[in-house]
A and B are shown apart, each in its own frame.
Chain A
Amino acid sequence: MNAFHIHYRNTQGTLMRILTAVSRRGIDIPYLYAAATDGAFRADLLLEVNAKQIGQLRRDWHAIVDVIDVRVGAPTPQMIENLASSFAAPHPPASTAASGRSASAAMA
């Protein structure tokens, strides 16, 4: 896992642009924290990515007009702790086979 710290101006859509750079690659976001800090905003993300994806994400984020800076590092203890607790959270219901009851039927 790699931690990413992105400083940005909190203009319309900037956080969403940061996140779509990840989601368009089909990468899960197991940890995300965004808040105001030092006169700007900071988003911390924890992602399972390879070296090539790290480079691509860094540059794609930096290409966003209102991103100020991008840092890559090791996960902080707080990130690890939050990640561990997320595994204890309930998972969404699993899909059922076509022969069984469908999710929508179950909901109905």
Chain B
Amino acid sequence: MLKGAEMFLQCLRAEGVHLVFGYPGGAIMPLYDALEGSGIRHILTRHEQGAVFAAEGHARATGDVGVAIATSGPGATNLVTGIADAKMDSVPLVCITGQVRSPLIGTDAFQETDVFGLTLSLTKWSRLVRSIDEIPRVIAEGFYWAREGRPGPVVIDIPTDFLKAKVEFSGPVKFSPKPRPSDEKADAAFPDDVIALLSNAQKPVALIGAGAKLSGAVPELRRLLDDLNIPAFATVHGLGALSPEAPYYLGMVGMHGTRAANMALHENDLLLVFGARLDDRVTGDPTRFAPNSKIVHFEIDPAQLDRVRQCELPVIGDLAETIPEFHRKIKNANLPDWSDWRALACGEDRAELDPRGLAQPTIRFLDELFGRLPNHSVILADVGQHQMWAAQRYRSDSPRGFITSGGLGSMGFALPAAVGVQLAKPEATVLCVSGDGGFQMNIQELATVRRLNLPIKMVIVDNKYLGMVRQWQQLFYQRNYAETDLSDNPDFVEIAKAYRINAERIHEEVMQEFPVAEDTADTLERFLRSSEPELLVFDCAPEANVYPMVPAGAALSEMLFEEE
């Protein structure tokens, strides 16, 4: 006979779980009581949102399912932002929430919340466990759906009495659903259809999204594009899929994408999309998006097709299968010479950033940091101006080397996510770049960093504003800086020291020297090479803006390069 909690943990082990993030409380206590000796390491964060973001960070860095645990009521509701975040960014995540005793469900008992109902539209799959016997199948099914196809979040809500009860346990089970006859998949002739479209195209381009990386298709995608040699660019989640050194690579596309990428996306006549959703931050005004383009959409999730515009040719399926299939066919295809188009799209007069932008101190600072990072480092960016600057300056070809909250844009994501990344990759340098606003949203996780002695390198780009909102207020709301002033920020160096974390501050003036002065270089080297957690506060001007910028509702070709 085993307790439900012991059975639960054995089933988690059977799914390959060895690390979970969580925060205990009343209804989930029996699970915590059974943790010791289970073979599962629990990381105590200081808030449930920290736990779910840490689990996400672990999942994003490894591709494995991240697991977060919380108690009923407020514990469960504190997970919700992370669940929504995982849904938007296709992160495999299983959230386990304790629930009040089963006889009390529906009575508004203490710390009772309908977490199942609350998360229905945010989850890929969820269950409120209804008997102790259901536990093995629910866990097997939950992990299956978190991983399968387009990955996503799952919630398993378990009443506390089932965790305490005892039952005969015959072992974990496996789940494999029957295929649905109605499932869409790519037509067998799709490679010929794509080749026919390519043969008639004069300005083909490729857009790379997260799906290319999640599917594990990166090596084959690189070989394909090396052969096609057409201008290519990436969404923020596609960064790292292609080598920045590839002569056809134009950088990031979208609202703060490079000029070259945005112009090529606007002007092309054939758009090959590899695992991207084409959300509004990528397309700009959807009615004026790629006006002359036919779209071929390689995508595992049919629900993402035709959201912006009807695509010419959907190629539904796992990119790890469809890309090689397509690549095999193009080797014998007689494709047009696109060298004139390539010369235009990749030409110097479409330089990726305005030279004045490159001299901007925060960009110089990030360049100095990124240039000193060892191979296989992981950069996390929180949400805001620093996020876009970091994405613009990311120069690695590591597919899982740039992690950020892209779809939901959750401020406070980076610090706890860095905890999950550093635990997943103990040998890697993990650089966590935050703004002064976002850092304070999960600042309590400094305690987790300290307790685990994780050598995370934390940067706060401190402009004493909610910078991105302020930028919009400056450009589109006549400088009415309503409630974005953070000039009364606390002293982050002193706060870090209170957590017994080394901290230092540098001012943006040190970035006006080129190359940087020796003592500045020493500071950066010491910061990155330390075996301890470190915080570096970068004091910068309050009114620096991220450019290029495609204003909301504008076409991609209508980029701003300065305040008009």
Residues of A that sit less than 8 Å from B by CB: 12-13, 16-17, 20, 24, 52, 55-56, 59-60, 62-63, 65, 68-70
Q: Which residues of chain A are within 8 angstroms of B120 by Cβ–Cβ distance?
A: 13, 16-17, 20
- Interchain Cβ contacts under 8 Å between A and B, 20 examples: A13-B116, A13-B117, A16-B117, A16-B120, A17-B120, A17-B121, A20-B120, A24-B121, A56-B306, A59-B302, A59-B303, A59-B304, A59-B306, A60-B303, A62-B182, A62-B303, A63-B302, A65-B145, A65-B177, A69-B180
Closest residue of B by beta carbon distance from A63: B303
Q: Which residues of chain A are within 8 angstroms of B126 by Cβ–Cβ distance?
A: 12-13
Across the interface, do A20 and B121 meet the contact criterion of CB distance under 8 Å?
yes
Contact of B307 among A56, A62, A68 (CB under 8 A): A56
Q: Smallest CB–CB gap between A41 and chain B, Å?
A: 15
Asked if B125 lies at the interface with its beta carbon under 8 angstroms from chain A, I say yes
**Docked CA distance A37–B126 (Å):** 24
Task: Point out which of B125, B127, B145, B305 has the most chain A C-beta atoms below 10 A from its C-beta.
Answer: B125
Asked if B266 lies at the interface with its beta carbon under 8 angstroms from chain A, I say no
**Docked CA distance A59–B306 (Å):** 10
Asked if B364 lies at the interface with its beta carbon under 8 angstroms from chain A, I say no
Q: Which residues of chain B are within 8 angstroms of A20 by Cβ–Cβ distance?
A: 120-121
* Count of inter-chain pairs, beta carbons less than 8 A: 43
Asked if B124 lies at the interface with its beta carbon under 8 angstroms from chain A, I say yes
Q: Which residues of chain B are within 8 angstroms of A62 by Cβ–Cβ distance?
A: 182, 184, 302-303
Q: Smallest CB–CB gap between B86 and chain A, Å?
A: 15
**Docked CA distance A24–B122 (Å):** 11
Q: Smallest CB–CB gap between B134 and chain A, Å?
A: 11
- With A60-B303, A68-B182, A69-B182 as known contacts, state yes or no: A12 contacts B124, CB within 8 Å: no
Closest residue of B by beta carbon distance from A56: B307
Interface positions of B from 78 to 133, Cβ below 8 Å from A:
116-117, 120-121, 124-128
Asked if B301 lies at the interface with its beta carbon under 8 angstroms from chain A, I say yes
Across the interface, do A65 and B125 meet the contact criterion of CB distance under 8 Å?
yes
Across the interface, do B180 and A68 meet the contact criterion of CB distance under 8 Å?
yes
Q: Smallest CB–CB gap between A12 and chain B, Å?
A: 6
Q: Which residues of chain A are within 8 angstroms of B116 by Cβ–Cβ distance?
A: 12-13
Q: Which residues of chain A are within 8 angstroms of B303 by Cβ–Cβ distance?
A: 56, 59-60, 62-63
